[in-house]
């Protein structure tokens, strides 16, 4: 029997978590995953404030207790004093995956010059991959899918193209995507028929 793909989603916003306005991060992530993934998955969703101790505890809970293979955060990655998502993520990390942060900024720079201010990171805790995504729904989609031309041809790969193989290397489930949304990359030897 194949292992079920477990994903943790964390939206980090003082105002949305306090009910000042509606959270848009969690619905965007859930909608995108449902269009991108062929592989069945379950979600653990959290909406929390920009508090480093709360973010750290939430990430640890999703990995250590719920055994999520992938945790996606949205929000709190800028230079503002309340933006502590990357700090919390690094604090609970076992290993850093710098390519994810580099690629997220590379993608976003195609759309806005202020992408250079982003502090997004990718890390591994135990056998889980944790990725800090931007806070805006449009930016979340761009970061995951990459830069495409008018015909849909990928000009700069989105970060999700590397996620299935990374999780496979971490001995998680074999994940398949819909190529028209994001084509997962694996070396030929790692592809299952």
Residue 125 to residue 183: CA distance in whole angstroms = 25
- Under CATH, what is the fold of the domain 5-190? Molybdenum Cofactor Biosythetic Enzyme; Chain A (3.40.980)
SS3 call for 160: helix
SS3 call for 111: coil
The 10s digit of each residue's pLDDT in 121-177 is 999 999 999 999 999 999 999 999 999 999 989 999 999 999 999 999 999 999 999
The structure's pTM equals: 0.96
State the sign of the Cα–Cα–Cα–Cα dihedral 110, 93, 59, 35: positive
Instruction: Report the greatest alpha carbon distance in the chain.
Output: 50
- 116 CA to centre of own chain: 18
CB 61: neighbour CB atoms within 10 A? 15
Domain ranges (residues) in the chain: 5-190
Mean pLDDT of the chain: 95
- Calculate what percentage of the chain has a pLDDT beyond 70: 99
Residue 71 to residue 63: CA distance in whole angstroms = 8
Whether residue 74 contacts residue 137, with contact meaning beta carbons closer than 8 Å, is answered with no
């Amino acid at each position: 029997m194949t292992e079920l793909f477990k994903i943790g989603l964390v939206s980090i916003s003082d105002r949305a978590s306090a009910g000042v306005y509606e959270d848009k991060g969690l619905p965007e992530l859930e909608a995108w995953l449902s269009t991108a993934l062929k592989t069945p998955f379950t979600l653990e969703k959290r909406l929390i404030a920009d508090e480093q101790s709360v973010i750290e505890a939430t990430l640890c809970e999703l990995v250590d207790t719920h055994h999520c293979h992938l945790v996606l955060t949205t929000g709190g990655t800028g230079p503002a004093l309340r933006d502590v998502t990357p700090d919390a993520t690094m604090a609970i990390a076992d290993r850093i995956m710098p390519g994810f942060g580099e690629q997220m900024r590379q993608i976003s720079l195609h759309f806005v010059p202020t992408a250079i201010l982003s502090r997004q990171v990718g890390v591994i805790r135990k056998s889980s991959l944790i990725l800090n995504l931007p806070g805006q729904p449009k930016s979340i989609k761009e970061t995951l899918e990459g830069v495409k031309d008018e015909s849909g041809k990928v000009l700069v790969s989105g970060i999700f193209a590397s996620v299935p193989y990374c999780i496979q290397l971490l001995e998680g489930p074999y994940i398949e995507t819909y190529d028209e949304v994001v084509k997962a990359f694996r070396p030929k030897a790692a592809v299952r028929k």
